[in-house]
Structure 1
Amino acid sequence: MSRLKRSSERDSRAGFRTEGRDCTTSVPQGLLKAARKSGQLNLSGRNLSEVPQCVWRINVDVPEEANQNLSFGATERWWEQTDLTKLIISNNKLQSLTDDLRLLPALTILDIHDNQLTSLPSALQELENLQKLNVSHNKLKMLPEEITNLRNLKGLYLQHNELSCIPEGFEQLFNLEDLDLSNNRLTTIPAGFSSLSSLVRLNLASNELKSLPAEICRMKRLKHLDCNSNLLDTIPSELAGMESLELLYLRRNKLRSLPIFSSCKLLKELHLGENQIETLEAEHLKHLNSILVLDLRDNKLKSIPDEITLLQSLERLDLSNNDISSLPYLLGNLHLKFLALEGNPLRTIRREIISKGTQEVLKYLRSKIRDDEPTQSESVTETAMTLPSESRVNVHAITTLKTLEYSDKQTTLIPDEVFDAVKDNIVTSVNFSKNQLCEIPKRVVELKEMLSDVNLSFNKLSCISLELCMLQKLTFLDLRNNFLSSLPEEMESLKRLQMINLSFNRFKILPEVLYRISKLETILISNNQVGSLDPQKMKMMENLTTLDLQNNDLLQIPPELGNCVSLRTLLLDGNPFRVPRAAILMKGTAAILEYLRDRIPT
């Protein structure tokens, strides 16, 4: 009778109450009966606007069946049944929790994610046995100081709230191993965080952090640090001394330089995409002995040092959308499984080689290891010619690389002399990027029988002219960083188009014409305002393998997208949808598609 005695001490009326009528419809009696035996109660997705009293009092009140039948068997002796240790009330409409929460002191897991909570009760501090607390996807503006009394807490999930600060004493949660504060409004991280010595995973993504405390290096067990999508312009050098760190995410910040990762011997993944990094030196690389993934896409890198060949464990290298004109041939000696080079003004490697995939690129680089690169660059300088308009046209690029190059001139018009320089030569690529073009040069149509690659990125295009739609041999088209909000239906005639980059424009939907270009393999449309896509039409795109929808306005991902089994890379980070959760996204494309397929209505 020890359990009955404890219950009586909590509430003098215990044993005389019956479960209230509020439970008869919202919580079936059978569910409560099972919970008394298992110690677990799942009330997820029941449209609850408040937690019924019978739930709070499940360990206090005599069960209704006990009042009805006093001669139940040994297996149903309610006074011997277990206290509730796991309570899930997620995906409801709760706006608050009462202090009755203290009536469940045995709880080790409390999951109340995806509700409308604006605060947490101070009685939370009495759940001394709590090990996991999930309050993500609510509307919390602040945390009660009492949360710091949960000394046994190992997992705390606060992502997708409205928190702007962290209460004093947070470092007292010394058993905390997993802390997720992503998608809030935090501007600073207190130095006292360094006392969270048991922390293994810390997620600070999508906040408003301008700096990290140097003391963060004291987290001796930290393996996973996510600072994506903040306002960081520097990283404390002390972070480079974190010996246990394995995964470091710093994408979508304002970094211009990197620390030297002198002690991060275990670092396996380093994500630095979408920053403003201009240089990558040998010192940045030579200590990364265990690195498997290096993401440097969408930066301002002009070159890659030869020392990249020191990264013998490297499997994935993303250099897309930088200013790299040449690659070290020694890169071919790495055993890469994935190498992304799209969106660079490469002169030493032809576009058709890049289009054949990673292994062909590596094979090509290996074949060139003995070539004299300085002689190549000198010849480019010597063969450049000055035309009457004082525009420099790279004739060597035309004759040798089959490329018409007139980029980074900040011009509003491409001079006729540029097109005249082609003469009788064959040109397969055009690069007019980083100018001030408001329209596509009409003379580009003169090259329609030859062009397979056109780069018009970083201009001021607000519409696509029909001249572009006449380039029927076009396979690669780069239109990122313009002012485009739509594409003409006439683009359907680009039957050979395999890759299109529309990132950093003003699209609100995935352009309808893209669904009808059957050869498309890659669509990059990140950093727009895309709010919807048609999964049924996308399923018909049998060649589509890469779809980048990061940083758009997708409120929901249609489950039918899971049927697009040809997709090998599906990127969805940075959208305001709630499902799939970040944990699913982190598992990669196959896991995302499987998750979506499982939720297709039958």
Structure 2
Amino acid sequence: MSRLKVGAGRDPRAGFRAEKRDCCVSVPQGLLKAARKSGQLNLSGRNLSEVPQCVWRINVDIPEEANQNLSFSASERWWEQTDLTKLIISNNKLQSLTDDLRLLPALTVLDIHDNQLTSLPSAIRELENLQKLNVSHNKLKILPEEITHLRNLKGLYLQHNELTCIPEGFEQLSNLEDLDLSNNRLTTVPASFSSLSTLLRLNLSSNQLKNLPAEISGMKRLKHLDCNSNLLETIPPELTGMESLELLYLRRNKLCFLPEFLSCKLLKELHLGENQIEMLGAEHLKHLHSILVLDLRDNKLKSVPDEITLLQSLERLDLSNNDISSLPYSLGKLHLKFLALEGNPMRTIRREIINKGTQEILKYLRSKIKDEPSQNDPVIETAMTLPSESRVNMHAITTLKILDYSDKQTTLIPDEVFDAVKSNIITSINFSKNQLCEIPKRIVELKEIVSDVSLSFNKISFISLELCMLQKLTFLDIRNNFLNSLPEEMESLIRLQTINLSYNRFKILPEVLYRIPTLETILISNNQVGSVDPERLKTMENLITLDLQNNDLLQIPPELGNCVNLRTLLLDGNPFRVPRAAILMKGTAAILEYLRDRIPT
């Protein structure tokens, strides 16, 4: 009825004629009609330099169809149709918005990212129902004070603008859960941010912050804090009292030392790479009970404390490019899935061991622990004749939970090896450096307990179904074999996180890998891979490391740049011309940014 009143007292066709003249080219009438039914209008990528008046007045003016029909079906009763709640006008050429924005008071979502806006109209305060506002990738230098009146706002996205400050009263956004201020020119964070008590995610990366206010610890529900790429020299000790914090990113700053994370008991990921940290002590580690990822690459660390073993949940440890010459042997007791040591003057571990990857490094460290086998451990003789093959390492089975029959140059694994397990719980199998042509069938007997399997440096040419039945498998090393494909049945490995396929005969990235969503690390260097599917890689949300070095990639698809979850992408040694070596040397973030900039629009 409200729309009928607006139209009273004038020629209803006049409103239609104005609307058609304004919109006939840029906004099809069918799109407006559908928007009146759905409450949603998407005008993204239409080369608009201004928002047509008919869009602002979609809830006000009598539509074209009212002038063409004398009777209406239930689906065409325009006066009963919904008000616009979602408006997307991203990827256009808008330089400003008018105060006619107030004519859409029912909006809950307004997405105007990737335009050329230098300001927002003061009328934005009247969008009282707005829950999501995306103004990222524009040219905003200031925010209007009126934005603080959007009390129902839950998501505010302001990244990639030119903001130098935050308006007073920002703390009034009492329902805000997600705030992205990254890639601006901020030099300070208001202390009043502490009142954003509902905030779950705060992104302040790529600004010019020299410090964080101690009051930030008042965000009691904050789970994700990203301060990468700033000028931070210290972290306020109060930050360590943020009990809900799970992800903390502090990479590319100027930190020289760390605070003690006393109360961050839920912290799962701590990223401190590319700083100037010289010391890591027990006091920095002892409260990180839940930590899964610890990134310390590109710092100035000289040692790793024995107390590193306190981090019993740790899965990924990056110590690349420091000044570490030795590691505590106790590090081998951790159940790491990824350990990076490249770029350190390591003296106690041979380079060839480091090159073999995480599990070989851990195995080496464990072998150096002064823990002699018990005299009560039985020695099981096998039917093999060579001395090196004549016994099973029971100490490894009972103490380290490893079934180790490696470096025997045998063509088959004796039954006695599997028999030796008996009722013991083992988590790892190491049959590397033998002459195996196929995977031992009895491996299936361990399907409910084994999580790590190494079959590297053998002569295996196919993966048997027995391996695909290891339901708890998280780590699989089958490099240096004769493989050129993987079976579809590997899709059933629903916990697999790391797979090493280097030095085989693959010509494409095995299709089944795209269907294993838990994969975090794929190592497939030194094969003959000629192509990858960036769209399918993008769906692998957990994939962090992809090693494609020394393959046959003639070109790198720009869409690979959309795989923003990748933290390590290795492409050296392929015959493509771009990206050039200078880009590759800058690291993964630079490569992905370079590729994204070349995606056809």
TM-score, length of structure 2 as denominator length: 0.64
- 1:4 Cα deviation after fit: 3.8
Aligned to 1:81: 81
Aligned to 1:17: 15
SS at 1:22's partner residue?
helix
Aligned to 1:457: none
| Distance in 2, Cα, partners of 1:72 & 1:117 | 41
| Distance in 1, Cα, partners of 2:355 & 2:45 | 47
Matched, 1:370 2:392: no
- 572-581 or 360-369, larger mean C-alpha shift: 572-581
Check conservation: 2:84, 2:106, Cα contact below 8 A.
yes
The letter for the 1-side match of 2:138 is N
Check conservation: 1:206, 1:230, Cα contact below 8 A.
yes
| Distance in 2, Cα, partners of 1:36 & 1:65 | 12
Length, aligned pairs only: 414
Check conservation: 1:250, 1:272, Cα contact below 8 A.
yes
Aligned to 1:42: 42
Matched, 1:546 2:544: no
| Distance in 1, Cα, partners of 2:356 & 2:268 | 27
- 1:600 Cα deviation after fit: 8.5
Check conservation: 1:535, 1:561, Cα contact below 8 A.
no
| Distance in 2, Cα, partners of 1:123 & 1:353 | 64
Cα distance change, pair 347–14 in 1 and its aligned pair in 2 (3 A): farther
Check conservation: 2:4, 2:62, Cα contact below 8 A.
no
- Deviations for 1:280-317, whole angstroms, at most 9, x for unmatched residues? 00010010000000000000000000000010100000
Check conservation: 1:545, 1:568, Cα contact below 8 A.
yes
- 1:97 Cα deviation after fit: 0.5
Check conservation: 1:535, 1:560, Cα contact below 8 A.
no
- 1:181 Cα deviation after fit: 0.0
Aligned to 2:314: 314
The letter for the 2-side match of 1:85 is T
The letter for the 2-side match of 1:126 is E
| Distance in 1, Cα, partners of 2:245 & 2:43 | 37
The letter for the 1-side match of 2:205 is A
- 1:370 Cα deviation after fit: 1.6
| Distance in 1, Cα, partners of 2:12 & 2:31 | 21
| Distance in 1, Cα, partners of 2:192 & 2:568 | 42
Check conservation: 2:569, 2:588, Cα contact below 8 A.
no
Check conservation: 1:547, 1:567, Cα contact below 8 A.
no
- Deviations for 1:405-461, whole angstroms, at most 9, x for unmatched residues? xxxxxxxxxxxxxxxxxxxxxxxxxxxxxxxxxxxxxxxxxxxxxxxxxxxxxxxxx
| Distance in 2, Cα, partners of 1:101 & 1:574 | 38
- Deviations for 1:266-290, whole angstroms, at most 9, x for unmatched residues? 0000000000000000010010000
TM-score, length of structure 1 as denominator length: 0.64
Cα distance change, pair 82–301 in 1 and its aligned pair in 2 (3 A): same
Check conservation: 1:105, 1:129, Cα contact below 8 A.
yes
The letter for the 1-side match of 2:547 is T
| Distance in 1, Cα, partners of 2:292 & 2:567 | 22
Aligned to 1:264: 264
Aligned to 2:589: 573
Aligned to 2:158: 158
Aligned to 2:333: 333
- 1:545 Cα deviation after fit: 4.6
Matched ranges for 1:189-204 at <5 A: 189-204=189-204
Check conservation: 2:266, 2:289, Cα contact below 8 A.
yes
| Distance in 2, Cα, partners of 1:233 & 1:302 | 20
SS at 1:17's partner residue?
helix
- 1:546 Cα deviation after fit: 3.1
Q: Which runs of 5+ in 2 are unaligned?
A: 373-501, 504-523, 535-544, 550-555, 571-586
Aligned to 1:470: none
Aligned to 1:228: 228
Check conservation: 2:296, 2:319, Cα contact below 8 A.
yes
Cα distance change, pair 561–95 in 1 and its aligned pair in 2 (3 A): closer
SS at 2:339's partner residue?
strand
The letter for the 2-side match of 1:236 is P
| Distance in 2, Cα, partners of 1:101 & 1:355 | 60
- Deviations for 1:144-165, whole angstroms, at most 9, x for unmatched residues? 0000000000000000000000
Cα distance change, pair 292–168 in 1 and its aligned pair in 2 (3 A): same
- 1:323 Cα deviation after fit: 0.2
Q: Which runs of 5+ in 1 are unaligned?
A: 373-495, 498-517, 522-533, 539-543, 549-555, 582-595
Check conservation: 2:314, 2:336, Cα contact below 8 A.
yes
The letter for the 2-side match of 1:119 is S
SS at 2:317's partner residue?
strand
Aligned to 1:95: 95
Cα distance change, pair 574–235 in 1 and its aligned pair in 2 (3 A): farther
The Cα RMSD (Å) is 3.3
Matched, 1:144 2:144: yes
Aligned to 1:439: none
- 1:351 Cα deviation after fit: 0.4
| Distance in 2, Cα, partners of 1:286 & 1:13 | 77
